[in-house]
A and B are shown apart, each in its own frame.
Chain A
Amino acid sequence: MLVFLGSASGAANISIQLDGGEFRVTGWTATAEPSEGWTSVFSVYAGAGNVQPMLGTYKVLDHVLTFHPRFPITAGVHYHAVFQASGTPVEASFDGPPIPTNALTRVERIYPSTNILPSNALRFYIYFSAPMSRGEAWPHIHLIDADTNRPVEIPFLELDQELWDQNNQRLTVLFDPGRIKRGLVPTNTIGPAIVEGKNYKLIIDREWHDARGVNLVEGFEKPFRGGPSDRAIPDPAKWRLTPPKAGTADPLIIKFPKSMDYVLLQRMIGIFDTRGEISGKIVVDRNETEWRFTPQEAWKPGSYRITADNTLEDISGNHLDRPFDVDIFETVTKHIVSNTTSIPFVVH
């Protein structure tokens, strides 16, 4: 059977090469594929122990048998290739590129920026300087009661499907809504995660791996104090506007009486003139109580409006038209259904 497969000019001359991401048998002339498939004569293994051969496809070009792995050659993997057409097997080992070890990635910032968080704060956003690994978040995020130096018991909604942005650089960490809301069982049995007047530390471990598999440069600590809970809607009537002057590209400034959600502020407020939405740059500042919009072109005199999505939230998840934990059966029929809130202003 094996004689049909090919011929060797002598086992000593058969060798296996890894070249261009493919494993190649040289010194042996491949002809017809055996009935059990090429894998019966040539397999490449990744990892130790009793494992199946790697997935991939075979091709024969100019009588040279080549294995093309289904996935690219990977850092840190030890490959073991075995060829046996007849006689003594020919084996070869290869290593993927070395795993990087130089720490480069940091926690850049955490929102809310304020160091007094309402006891019903809904979430943190953790921003990293480079993409991170999925599936490792929960062991590396800790909420510590700084007064007792003890961890707060499962304060966060530990979803296996971690809430990353598209690039794995921003993780959304939700406090467990069951602990925030009034009346639900967890609040009554283990209490809210944050208590007014107490001191806390949000701690990020250095041992969390970035997408290259390397630890962070250093850990990160965000100290904060528990404030009163906030169950009031963020009322746009209380926003203070500083309209810019015509002919300038000065920013339009909106000041909020309380901190708003950083991520939603990037995309839930728009500036419109009579023709439509105008282009510009948004900056969020002062513990997310200030939103500044610098237009691409100088302001023209005339009427404008600020339009905010009603799903814009403060840091406790209260929407513009609905607190986070409204008793919906009582109030849902009362509010006017509208998706946005408009605030007019004039540029002189």
Chain B
Amino acid sequence: MRHLLAKSLGVTCLSAALAFSAGIPGATTGKVQLKSAGALAFGNDGVLFIGDSLGGSVVAVDTRDTKASAKASSIDIKGINEKAAALLGTTPDQILINDVKVNPISKNVYLSVSRGKGPDAIPVILRVDAAGKLSEFSLDSVPFTSASLADAPASEAGGRGGDPRNDAITEIAFVNGNVLIAGLSNQEFASDLRSIPFPFKGEIAGAGIKMYHGSHGRYETQSPIRTFVSYTIGNHQYILAAYTCTPLVKIPVSELKPGAKVEGTTIAELGAGNRPLDLIAYKKDNHDFLLLANSNRGVMKLDAANLEQYQPILAHTEATGVPYTTLAELKGVKHLTSLDDAHALMLFDNGDLRAMPLP
């Protein structure tokens, strides 16, 4: 009988040629066979992590896009969905922009896109330069490695039916040499955060991490992390994670180990009836802030000074903890990501992609 719980994290190198890659030691060069392109994150040296939910893997690609640029703050593209559709030879209603991230070195913008919406949709990575020109970032011949998140291979004895479980990857981040992956299954309930050391190597079994809210009677939270950002508080590395309806939870990165039961601390409640979309951290005038885009509660600017001082929220409460203001001028933000020291990049629900001054 196959062990349905057992998950294997395997490293696959799909092509033969060993290539020198500054960002990915031991990478091979070849064609990356993505089944889907979803959550994106940048590591060091221009390495782009691509979450492939349908393929059940995270792929690390050396973009070799490492020419430093201080600024890309002038990006202002109207209807990037229409422009991407035209580039890809389809109609705007057949384009899904799944994620937007900025290469922190070159400031080029990377978009994960589905061309088409059906099961035969083609995953594409697009790049936008500082001049606003779109191009395809071809995955036909690039140095890459990948880590498989899929179930142990299905050996369906007994003719048992059912399709394999699929894990949707909701967010990826590169923190302290590890790739953190938040995900959710389309079958048995499993919402977890995994931490995979990078460069990917060897077989890593059972790296799933269970997450618990510290508050409210210490119940295990099954609620999946919607978005998170890495953040240093004092001398300790944390991730700040936002959940539906909208607790903000700090989780110590040092405790994220395979099989660990990690207790998070709720430091803010940002209101019910809301889905957090994207979270970034930034510094302005020597002061720390967080910026959180939401489905129903606009874009919130949180004062991130002295996050260690907030006591765990233990009582049931409406909205409390870290103070914030809602920025009335920012409406319809679907994706939010860091661009440079003074700007965030925002994708709006009308398809506009725009560099906005950090508030």
| Chains A and B belong together in one complex | yes
Q: Which residues of A contact B (CB under 8 A)?
A: 45-47, 49, 51-56, 69-74, 76-77, 79, 122-123, 131-136, 153-154, 157-168, 172, 174, 176-186, 188-190, 209-213, 261, 263-264, 266-272, 276-282, 296, 307, 309-313, 317, 324-329, 332, 339-340
Q: How far is the CA of A193 from the CA of B166 in the complex (A)?
A: 26
- Given known A-B contacts A46-B89, A211-B118, A182 and B160 have beta carbons under 8 A apart: no
Judge whether A339 and B119 touch: CB under 8 Å: no
Chain A residue contacts of B234, Cβ below 8 A: none
Judge whether B158 and A280 touch: CB under 8 Å: yes
Chain B residue contacts of A157, Cβ below 8 A: 224, 244
Give per-residue flags for B190-210: 1 if the beta carbon is below 8 A from chain A beta carbons, else 0. Answer: 010000000000000000001
Chain A residue contacts of B244, Cβ below 8 A: 157, 176, 178, 186
Q: How far is the CA of A165 from the CA of B186 in the complex (A)?
A: 7
A184 closest partner in B (C-beta): B216
User: Would you mind naming 30 contact pairs between A and B with Cβ atoms under 8 Å apart?
Assistant: A47-B85, A52-B83, A54-B87, A55-B136, A56-B89, A133-B118, A135-B96, A157-B244, A159-B224, A161-B38, A161-B168, A168-B118, A172-B186, A174-B189, A178-B244, A178-B245, A180-B222, A181-B221, A183-B216, A189-B272, A189-B316, A212-B118, A263-B187, A264-B162, A267-B160, A270-B158, A270-B160, A280-B159, A328-B219, A332-B261
**Could you say which of A55, A154, A176, A268 contacts B223, with CB atoms under 8 Å apart?**
A176
**Could you say which of B6, B163, B217, B243 contacts A327, with CB atoms under 8 Å apart?**
B217
Chain A residue contacts of B121, Cβ below 8 A: 134
Distance to closest chain A CB from B44 (angstroms) = 26
Q: How far is the CA of A79 from the CA of B118 in the complex (A)?
A: 22
**Could you say which of A166, A184, A270 contacts B213, with CB atoms under 8 Å apart?**
A184
- Given known A-B contacts A134-B114, A272-B1, A172 and B89 have beta carbons under 8 A apart: no
Judge whether A279 and B118 touch: CB under 8 Å: no
Give per-residue flags for B245-286: 1 if the beta carbon is below 8 A from chain A beta carbons, else 0. Answer: 101000000000000010000000100110100000000000
Judge whether B170 and A161 touch: CB under 8 Å: yes
Q: How far is the CA of A309 from the CA of B295 in the complex (A)?
A: 37
Knowing that A174-B189, A328-B219, A340-B1 touch, tell me 18 more A-B residue pairs with CB under 8 angstroms. Answer: A161-B184, A164-B166, A176-B223, A176-B244, A182-B219, A184-B216, A185-B216, A210-B118, A211-B120, A212-B118, A213-B93, A266-B161, A266-B162, A312-B188, A313-B189, A324-B189, A328-B210, A339-B4
Q: How far is the CA of A52 from the CA of B5 in the complex (A)?
A: 48
Judge whether A52 and B318 touch: CB under 8 Å: no
- Given known A-B contacts A71-B122, A185-B216, A177 and B222 have beta carbons under 8 A apart: yes
Judge whether B219 and A327 touch: CB under 8 Å: yes
Chain B residue contacts of A281, Cβ below 8 A: 159
- Given known A-B contacts A159-B170, A327-B218, A154 and B316 have beta carbons under 8 A apart: no
Judge whether B94 and A213 touch: CB under 8 Å: yes
Chain A residue contacts of B269, Cβ below 8 A: 185
Judge whether B184 and A163 touch: CB under 8 Å: yes
Chain B residue contacts of A280, Cβ below 8 A: 158-159
Judge whether B166 and A184 touch: CB under 8 Å: no
Chain B residue contacts of A76, Cβ below 8 A: 91, 94
Residue B220 is within 8 A (CB to CB) of chain A in the complex: yes
Q: How far is the CA of A296 from the CA of B295 in the complex (A)?
A: 51
Judge whether A71 and B90 touch: CB under 8 Å: yes
